[in-house]
Amino acid sequence: VAQGTVDRAYDQLVAEGYLSRGVGRGTFVRGVRPSTMRDVRRLPATAPAAAASRAGGQTPWARRVQLLDGYGAPSVRAFVANGPALDQFPVGLWARLVGRRLRRITSRDLLGAGPAGAPALREAVWEYVQAERGVRCTLDQVLIVAGVREALDLVSRVVLRPGDVAMLEDPGYRGARAVFAAHGARLLPTPVDAEGVVLPTRTRARPRIAYVTPAHQFPQGVHMSAARRLALLAWAHQRDTLIFEDDYDSEYRYRGRPLPALQGLDTAQRVCYAGSFSKVLYPGLRLGYLVVPPPLLDAVLATRSISTLHPPMLEQLVVAEFLADGHFHRHVRRMREIYAERHDALLDAARREWAGALEVSPIEAGLQTLGWLRDGVDVDALCARAARADITLESLEQWAIRPLARPGVQLGFATIAPADLRAGVTRLARVLEAPGLRGGS
């Protein structure tokens, strides 16, 4: 072979560590056998269970923190809940925006930003939450986060000490429960009525934090009345409680004018406001926003600076353009029509076919609703039988801390075409009619 080929082979062996070479010294074989290097790749995909659990039991934090599911597998089966219709996402437009933004990328963009996130997206979100959600804040209060989960964790790190009380809606979002429990808080589950969260006035507990979903309660769908909002702010003020307002999905409102955010009514700087792009754009984007009251801002930014710093720049810059160029508004308007049609298809068919067996809550906003069952129905048996009929039903119990007054199931409609919703309603009507669903029978 040619001299150049030999030289290149030697260079490669030196680079991989098999040979060592020194000028005037010669070239020597090192004691590294090829198999030592290759063994690295032979590890199993999962660590042995015993080793994993030993590592997980080391600190109080590691013992308290639970694995919180990601978003499940994409599904268009009736009545899958908690996800947007991803087949309707404008991937072509997104690809063009990503390409365009990337071609204009600057060294400043590649270097990154401070712990509050990309300035362009912070400004776009600042405009949006003021104009559309009635949030009152300065630009410095706006942080871009990796979804509501990160927002909850950041705020909890700053305000919660082990043993503090954390109030949350029950049934409610499991993510909030998991985060508060991980930080060692004692949970104060609080029921929800037709006006929103019922304030625990009789307990002497002074919650350090209260998690609420005023725009439409998760998972019951009710929106918090204006009177309850004012009462909640006064209640929090008396107890020195910080409110965490989760404004998820507020964009998808089908009737009436959206109520402005609770944060806009707050004059005492005690509301943290969070929103998410997970349902309006797509969950894998992992982007959301957090508006922090000024007294907490420095601590939240410092906390952020020692962990993720900020989400990836390119995605933030693309979302900023999506908002600034009006695509966001057009996308929300289009999706709202699609979801409203699906919501109506579910409700019409349910009224006709489930009367007396499963009562569907009409909702004003969101991507899913609830079906209430008659007392005594074995909800787990119903979910299992529904699954055999190709229907996904999830018991409301999985979102509840205390036993429920009435059994219920979550009914998603957002990912399912109207014809499939109607067919699902008919199949579930047959399951509901079959004997043996009442407890004890």
Q: Which residues pair with 174 in a beta bridge?
A: none
Asked if 173 touches ligand PLP (CB under 6 A), the answer is yes
Q: Which of 182, 201, 250 is nearest to 221 (CA)?
A: 250
Residues 431, 156: Cα–Cα separation, whole Å: 43
Q: Which residue of 250, 263, 278, 410 would you call a contact of ligand PLP, by CB under 6 A?
A: 278
Q: Which is nearer to ligand PLP, 349 or 366 (CB)?
A: 366
Q: Which residue of 84, 207, 288, 424 would you call a contact of ligand PLP, by CB under 6 A?
A: 288
- CB count within 10 Å of CB 308 equals 13
Strands 186-190 and 192-193 come out as unpaired
DSSP string of 44-96, one letter each residue? -SS--HHHHHHHHTSSHHHHH--PPP-------STB--S---GGGS-HHHHHH
Q: Which is nearer to ligand PLP, 70 or 436 (CB)?
A: 70
Asked if 248 touches ligand PLP (CB under 6 A), the answer is yes
Strands 26-29 and 19-22 come out as antiparallel
Asked if 147 touches ligand PLP (CB under 6 A), the answer is yes
Residues 58, 157: Cα–Cα separation, whole Å: 19
Asked if 246 touches ligand PLP (CB under 6 A), the answer is yes
Q: Which is nearer to ligand PLP, 371 or 377 (CB)?
A: 371
Asked if 196 touches ligand PLP (CB under 6 A), the answer is no
Q: Which is nearer to ligand PLP, 207 or 288 (CB)?
A: 288
- Preceding peptide of 79 cis, ω within 30°: yes
Asked if 412 touches ligand PLP (CB under 6 A), the answer is no
Cβ partners under 8 Å of residue 51, min gap 6: none
Least separation in angstroms between CB 221 and ligand PLP: 11
Asked if 148 touches ligand PLP (CB under 6 A), the answer is yes
Residues 406, 412: Cα–Cα separation, whole Å: 19
Span of 6-14, 145-153, 292-300, 372-380 interacting with ligand PLP by CB under 6 A: 145-153
Cβ partners under 8 Å of residue 120, min gap 6: 316, 317, 320, 321, 324
> According to CB under 6 A, which residues from 65 to 84 bind ligand PLP?
82
Q: Which residue of 101, 122, 133, 149 would you call a contact of ligand PLP, by CB under 6 A?
A: 149
Q: Which is nearer to ligand PLP, 124 or 377 (CB)?
A: 124
Asked if 213 touches ligand PLP (CB under 6 A), the answer is yes
Span of 50-58, 276-284, 419-427, 430-438 interacting with ligand PLP by CB under 6 A: 276-284
Least separation in angstroms between CB 172 and ligand PLP: 8
Torsion from C-alpha of 316, 321, 326, 332, nearest 10 degrees: -20
Q: Which is nearer to ligand PLP, 241 or 410 (CB)?
A: 410
List C-alpha distances in Å: 309 to 145, 196, 317: 9, 35, 16
Strand order in the sheet with 394-395: 358-360, 368-373, 408-412, 394-395
Residues 223, 368: Cα–Cα separation, whole Å: 14
- Tell me the site size for ligand PLP, rule CB under 6 A: 13
Asked if 316 touches ligand PLP (CB under 6 A), the answer is no
Span of 35-43, 142-150, 194-202, 360-368 interacting with ligand PLP by CB under 6 A: 142-150
Q: Which residue of 79, 180, 218, 322 would you call a contact of ligand PLP, by CB under 6 A?
A: 218
Q: Which of 242, 304, 20, 262 is nearest to 129 (CA)?
A: 262
Q: Tell me which residue has its CB nearest to ligand PLP.
A: 147
Asked if 169 touches ligand PLP (CB under 6 A), the answer is no
Span of 186-194, 250-258, 275-283, 368-376 interacting with ligand PLP by CB under 6 A: 275-283
Cβ partners under 8 Å of residue 115, min gap 6: 143, 301, 302, 304, 305, 309, 310
* Residues of this chain that bind ligand PLP (CB under 6 A): 82, 147-149, 173, 213, 218, 246, 248, 276, 278, 283, 288
